[in-house]
Chains A and B, each alone.
Chain A
Amino acid sequence: MIQFLFTGFTLGSIYALVALGFTMIYNATGIINLAQGEFVMLGGLIMVFCTLILKIPMVLGFVITLAAVTLIGAIFQRLAIHPLKNASLITLIMVTLAGSILFRGVAMFLWGKDPYMLPAFGSQKPIQLWGATLQPQILWVLGITLGVVAGITYFFKRTLFGKAMTACAFNPLAARLVGISVGKMVFVSFGVSAALGAIAGAIITPITLMEYDRGPLLALKGFSAAVLGGLGSAPGSIAAGFLIGILESLGAGLISSGYKDAIALLVLLLVLWIKPSGLFGSKEESELKKF
């Protein structure tokens, strides 16, 4: 049982990070980035490339991966999203979808369809804790995730830049009037979301491997968490991410492992159908937001 919980928290970390990425872009731009899962995938695969092919030490590889994927996210925003910012909703959805296909295509071209493995960050010896056997990587995942969450919270609450981004989310016009460059905020939000995804990809690959088409399912589950937590609420996304991770883990262990992916998806559908404002959002607030 404890085993399931730990697995759940591990998975949940990833979903939380992905959900955070969704929330960030949504807050800055009002759109859902369907390519979010691909940032995770790229994070994992680029890390593999750095560590196994280029034989770069892991820490450096991590930094390079982060930089690379952040750059990809920012470029994507500039080249594909920005020109279409006044286009119809369907077009916007399709663009992020196209981006996700493109990234997947590039990944398939560069790395083929096989899954890749990363060595664990620290020791490989399993730890015994409270009756469960854990890979040490799990602690890395949890630790890094908590670190990221703390960092993001600090960023939004304490730094001027972070507060400016929050202002943009609430009222772009007013933000512009006080001199905040909304365009830059949007640009940064994509970069940060990409970084979040990359981190998630890098830390989870030692445990679950990574292949070129992991993206869509991850994105769906991450989005599930984002909506469950109340789209636009960062703490909500994180909490919901862990919740879904645990639900999935318990479901896989106790009910059936074949349908485990369907659990998160079912949660997604139920939340959208019944209470789209999620657990922590308010109904009025969700109606005020663009979507």
Chain B
Amino acid sequence: MKRKDFHALWIIAAVIGIFPWAAGGNQYFISLLVFLALNAITALGLSLLMGYAGQISLGHAAFLGIGAYSSGVLTTQYALHPLAAFVFGIFLSAGIAFLVGRPTLRLKGHYMAVATLGFGEIVFIVFNELSPFTGGPSGLSNIPPLSFWGFPLEGISFLYLVWAVFFLLLIFSLNLVNSRVGRALRAVHGSELAAGAMGVDASQAKLQVFVLSAVYASISGSLYAHFLAFISPNAFGLMFSILLLMMVVIGGTQTVWGGFLGAAILTLLPEYLRGLEDFEVLAYGAILLSVLLFMPQGVLEGVRRIASGRKERGAR
């Protein structure tokens, strides 16, 4: 982990630590920050897949849903301990990602995109149809909160938990990127041919990172279920998969932080669009199109380039 990553981490941690108290325990802001962390976790996993390994997944909300429904169903209908349900969700997501990933990651470009799209839709349909388990379109409620030794984690304590999980995964991801694994992924992205010639098993590497990103999503989904105490299939459909994709693209895939920035933008921005619900989808489309046309490297990289451009001109 480089020095500036470390600094950024501490600054954000400080902000998150202080903010709830500064905002007077306002539930609205706390919720917002919780969602930010949850989205950041998923976006982190997805950006490893898309940015470093160069693969695409248009159905990632499915894994969110698998985690969420695992936690939801097992804790409400089978009275399983939340932690056990959480772990089950991770294994289920990983397993499905493994099975789906193997044939899908072999596909080239567009085919892979559409296959993941199809997969996401199928999972969405399953959530809707397995009503006895999932509660169908009307959703699943009364999901118990996470608790440790009898203390339920809600509000501010949950906020701290979620951000702690995010930081842990962030550090894990940063470590990964600057390691043999990270280099291998970038190599596969750069030239699968040469990577193979250097001994990198490209299929295995791609599959591993796909499964990893599914695990991140599952973690986020489970936490989401316990936070809201209610989940419904609509949260895990195409629109959210696209939103996740947008987080990664808008934030930029050059660094691990891109996913975080994208998550921040797309979690906080809709709050400003609150009154303009009719415009919501339109705005998303317009934003995505603009970024792709004018800042395809993502906002983070775009800002960096503008900043270093200014520096150059200033130096003359």
Contacts and interface: CB of A to CB of B under 8 A. Distances in A.
Q: Are A and B co-members of a single complex?
A: yes
B100 to A, nearest CB: 8
B125 to A, nearest CB: 5
B238 interface: yes
B234 to A, nearest CB: 11
A93 B109 contact: yes
B279 interface: yes
> At the interface, is chain B mostly helix, strand, loop or mixed?
helix
B122 A89 contact: no
A132 interface: no
A259 interface: yes
B119 to A, nearest CB: 7
B108 interface: yes
Interface string A89-133: 111011101111111111011001000000000000000000000
Given A98-B288, A102-B282, A93 B110 contact: yes
Interface string B113-139: 111011101100110110000000000
A32 interface: yes
A190 interface: no
B274 to A, nearest CB: 16
Contact of A220 (B109, B121, B278): B121
Interface residues of A, number: 47
A90 to B, nearest CB: 6
A256 B51 CA distance: 40
B125 A272 contact: no
A97 B243 CA distance: 11
Contact of B289 (A34, A80, A220, A227): A80
Nearest to A95: B292
A93 B109 CA distance: 9
B289 A262 contact: no
> At the interface, is chain A mostly helix, strand, loop or mixed?
helix
B284 to A, nearest CB: 6
A216 B59 CA distance: 12
A21 interface: no
A24 interface: no
B282 A109 contact: yes
Contact of B122 (A88, A98, A106, A265): A265
B293 interface: yes
A223 B113 CA distance: 12
B286 interface: yes
A216 to B, nearest CB: 5
Contact of A91 (B126, B238, B286, B292): B292
Contacts of B103: 272-274
Contact of B282 (A105, A256, A261): A105
20 contacts: A31-B110, A32-B110, A89-B110, A93-B113, A94-B249, A98-B289, A102-B286, A105-B285, A106-B285, A220-B117, A224-B118, A258-B128, A258-B129, A265-B122, A266-B122, A269-B118, A269-B122, A272-B107, A273-B104, A276-B107
Given A90-B56, A109-B279, A109-B282, 11 more contacts: A32-B114, A34-B117, A89-B110, A97-B242, A98-B292, A101-B288, A102-B288, A105-B281, A227-B114, A268-B114, A269-B119
